[in-house]
Amino acid sequence: MNDIALPHKRPGGRSAQVQALVRTALEELVAEQGRERVTVPAVAERAGVSASSIYRRWGDLQGLLAETATHRLDPNRPLPDTGALRADLEAWARELIEHLAKPCNTSLLKAAAALANGDSDTDCLRNRRKEALTLVEQARARGERAPEPQQVIDHLIAPIVFRLVFGADPVKPELAARLVDELFVLSSS
């Protein structure tokens, strides 16, 4: 038997470069034209790749949008741990508002919402649920009384996302404190 060394895919190699080019092209086109006017051929042309590469990797425009939105909308950052749930939730919500309110991110959030088609278990929502659970468990481990994680989603995250997707007025970070106050009033009753 011959021992033939098979080539290994390099992390961060050509494939990662192509994915980054395609995501950037998609983000730019969505921001410039709106999701409804973006096509796979337009993304491919902007990225300098073949449309077949996009279809092979993502399947269709919906798959590309969903994966790009998840990649962009889920900031890789540690969750707050201030020692008090109220402060943790406010810091978390403020950071999400600041991140999601960036024009490109808001465009992707709207596109992801339009593509969800009643799917209540998107990657973005799963990640927010996991974060809410972590913050609540942190607080309970400190002996704090805490709302249920689903209450955090329903009364803190959902209003933020709703305002960003459907609102005409800019969503300001100060909204975080008001929503956290309301969450604590609702969860204590």
pLDDT of residue 121: 67
Helices (H), ranges, 1-142: 14-33, 40-47, 51-58, 61-73, 85-100, 103-115, 123-141
Q: Could you state, in order of their start, the residue ranges of all structural domains in the chain?
A: 14-72, 76-188
pLDDT of residue 66: 80
Tens of pLDDT, residue by residue over 142-157, are: 999 999 999 999 999 9
Query: Is 156:186 a contact under the CB 8 Å cutoff?
Result: no
Domain 14-72: top CATH class:
mainly alpha
Rounded (5°) CA angle 63-120-99? 70
Reported residue count of the chain is: 189
The pTM is what? 0.76
Query: Is 151:183 a contact under the CB 8 Å cutoff?
Result: yes
Domain 76-188: top CATH class:
mainly alpha
- Asked if domains 14-72 and 76-188 share a fold, the reply is no
